[in-house]
């Protein structure tokens, strides 16, 4: 697949997220910033896309990984906007993997143990004592079922939860070391899933705008491959390292985005609130008769 074709795929994936991003940008950030972001998305289509690898700097941490300064610079050069005030708020992004599930054509349903894991996770999130500003879940059945159980524990209105078509499970990019699959199947899966999952990163990972004065908490409920890729991208690690760590069902990963552009990880795959007997990370094996 050529870089130009892949670029078009990414832009199409980013376009159908536009309405949600528009509301977020206009209500939680300045209109100028939103316009700038749309200009940058157009530039990404023109310049080509490299699966996020172009954002991994070999010379050290890039503080402008979300291109906030670049957006402001482009807008300021037009001479129509004043200097943007400094941001002060933190954005906490908590990612939860769904509970254990059995396979089915619609994405799988939670097992009895999976429902217990989701309950334990919900209790743990409740104990954090924070106010959840947004809860977003993958559209796959196992993630939706996990979310419904968690929402009861954290007292979050199910009608306010968003269902995101960018978050379902998939192959975000070729892995290093390679997966135990044929090169053809990996390439096909990546072409199908990669641009969508990268678009999920760009939708949910960014610094708070200067208009946001209080710290915010976003809860994303999804899948292991997607979460692992998002972690690598957020920490500016090579995205192809996503298979080098595993996540338990119902585990919690917590990332914090600072106003400076720095990103820290509070925990990765935390499942210490479950007993050893409740820990799983693979689907249960089918009984062979």
Please check whether residue 35 is in contact with residue 75, taking contact to mean a CB–CB distance below 8 angstroms. yes
- Residue 204 assigned to a binding site: no
| pLDDT < 70 regions, the chain | 1-59, 70-84, 106-107, 286-289
232: closest CA among 178, 188, 176, 283? 176
In a domain, 13, yes or no: yes
Is 186 domain-assigned?
yes
CATH of the domain at 93: 3.40.50.1240
Do the domain assignments include residue 284?
no
| 102 labeled part of a ligand binding site | yes
Residue labelled with tokens 């990880």: 265
Q: At what angle do helices 224-234 and 183-204 cross, to 10 degrees?
A: 60
**119 lies in some domain:** yes
Dihedral pair phi/psi, residue 64, rounded to 5°: -105, 40
Query: How many domains would you assign to the chain?
Result: 1
Please report whether residue 47 resides in a domain. Answer: yes
Supply 66's token pair. 């979300």
Has residue 29 been placed in a domain? yes
User: 254 exposed, middle or buried (CB, 10 Å; 0-12, 13-18, 19+)?
Assistant: middle
Count of alpha carbons within 13 angstroms of residue 270, beta-carbon side: 15
Instruction: Output phi, psi for 157, to 5 deg.
Output: -65, 120
Q: Is 101 annotated as a binding residue?
A: yes
Q: What is the pLDDT of residue 164?
A: 98
Calculate the alpha carbon distances from 55 to 51, 58, 77, 97, 232 in Å: 9, 9, 23, 26, 12
**Domain ranges, residue 44:** 3-278
Q: Is 99 annotated as a binding residue?
A: yes
Phi and psi dihedrals of 93, rounded to 5?
Answer: -120, 115
In a domain, 287, yes or no: no
Q: Flag whether 77 is marked binding.
A: no
Residue 86 lies in a domain: yes
> CB 22: neighbour CB atoms within 10 A?
13
Give me the phi and psi of 4, to 5 degrees please.
-65, -40
Residue 122 in marked binding region: no
Question: Residue 248 has what pLDDT?
Answer: 98
* 281 annotated binding-site participant: no
48 torsion bin: left (phi>0), alpha (psi -120 to 50), beta (else): left
């Amino acid at each position: 697949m050529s870089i130009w074709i892949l670029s078009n795929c990414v832009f199409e994936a980013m376009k159908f997220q536009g309405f949600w991003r528009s509301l977020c940008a206009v209500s939680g950030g300045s209109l100028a910033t939103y316009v700038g972001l749309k200009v940058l998305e157009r530039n990404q289509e023109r310049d080509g896309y490299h699966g996020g690898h172009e954002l991994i700097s070999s010379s050290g941490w890039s503080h402008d990984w979300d291109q906030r300064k670049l957006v402001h610079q482009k807008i300021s050069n037009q001479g129509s906007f004043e200097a943007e005030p400094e941001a002060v708020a933190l954005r906490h992004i908590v990612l939860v993997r769904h509970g254990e599930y059995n396979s089915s054509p619609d994405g799988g349903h939670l097992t009895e143990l999976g429902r217990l894991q989701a309950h334990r996770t919900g209790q743990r999130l409740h104990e954090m004592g924070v106010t959840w500003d947004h809860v977003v879940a993958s559209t796959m059945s196992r993630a939706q079922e996990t979310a419904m159980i968690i929402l009861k524990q954290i007292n979050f209105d199910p009608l306010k939860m968003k269902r995101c078509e960018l978050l379902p499970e998939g192959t975000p990019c070729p892995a290093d070391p390679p997966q135990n699959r044929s090169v053809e199947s990996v390439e096909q899966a990546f072409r199908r899933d990669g641009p969508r999952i990268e678009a999920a990163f760009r939708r949910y990972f960014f610094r708070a705008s200067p208009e946001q004065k209080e710290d915010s908490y976003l809860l994303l409920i999804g899948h292991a491959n997607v979460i692992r890729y998002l972690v690598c991208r957020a920490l500016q690690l090579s995205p192809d390292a996503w298979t080098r760590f595993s996540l338990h069902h119902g585990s919690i990963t917590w990332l914090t985005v600072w106003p400076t552009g720095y990103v820290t990880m509070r925990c990765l795959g935390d499942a210490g609130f479950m007993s050893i007997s409740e820990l799983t990370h693979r689907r249960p094996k089918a009984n062979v008769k």
